[in-house]
Amino acid sequence: MKDKVIECTNCGGGNDLQFWITVGALVIAFLALLMNFVQFREFLRRSRARARFALTLTAANAGADGVVRTAGNHMSLRMEVGIDNEGDLAAGETLINVMFPRSLEVVGWCGPNGQETERFGSSIAQTGETLEAADGTEVEANYLMKVVDRVGTKPGHVFNFMCFVDVPDVGRREIPFRLKVQADEIPSDIDEYVIDRIVGIEHQDVN
């Protein structure tokens, strides 16, 4: 009697299939972990991103020495407020406050050519904070407020405001200003960004 030989036709194939199923599951798990890691890194980057402002406050038509000269005895002084966001996060709602002496006449936001963009005097309020004059004395101040919806990370955010000043016949009038800017997206250890400027006004003899 001959011995019967029983051949398994699917044993090896089944093992191979199970092996590749296991490999596929491991690959999928690895890719999921990798995706979670990338998303976590992006979350950390975004959570650490902050808006950081660089401020400028300059008088339009000022000379190289920063002094404005005019032939008249009364002039409209246009000031340029520059805000550059040098951080890695756009700022949302941003509050801009400009402080100026109470002795100045009507002050308001305007366009680059001095055109009125809102009713002059409508955004002015008094403050108990004082400004420091060129001689070191304290000057009572008002402030002009503006809220902008967004300050992105591209440079060139410029706003203008106008005030009206008397110009002395002799000597120089020096006017202190303070610019303060704040937003929720700035670093937590900074309450607001602040710069002070003193603008000189002189009478220019046309003869």
**Domain boundaries along the sequence of the chain:** 1-48, 53-203
Query: Which CATH architecture does the domain made up of 53-203 adopt?
Result: Sandwich (2.60)
Cβ 179 vs Cβ 96: under 8 Å: yes
Summarize the confidence of residues 58-87 as an average pLDDT: 92
Q: Within a 10 A sphere around the Cβ of 37, how many other Cβ atoms?
A: 10
> What distance lies between CA 200 and its chain's CA centroid?
27
Q: Within a 10 A sphere around the Cβ of 53, how many other Cβ atoms?
A: 23
Residue 45 pLDDT exceeds 90: no
Residues of the chain with pLDDT > 90: what percent? 55
Residue 104 pLDDT exceeds 60: yes
Strands (E), the chain: 53-59, 67-70, 74-85, 94-101, 108-110, 124-132, 138-148, 157-166, 172-183, 193-203
pLDDT, tens only, 123-134: 899 899 999 998
Dist CA 102 CA 126 (whole Å): 8
**Taking the CA of residue 144 as centre, how many other CA atoms within 13 Å lie in the half-sphere pointing to its CB?**
26
Cβ 99 vs Cβ 177: under 8 Å: yes
Mean per-residue pLDDT over the chain, rounded: 85
pLDDT, tens only, 146-169: 999 999 998 889 999 999 999 988
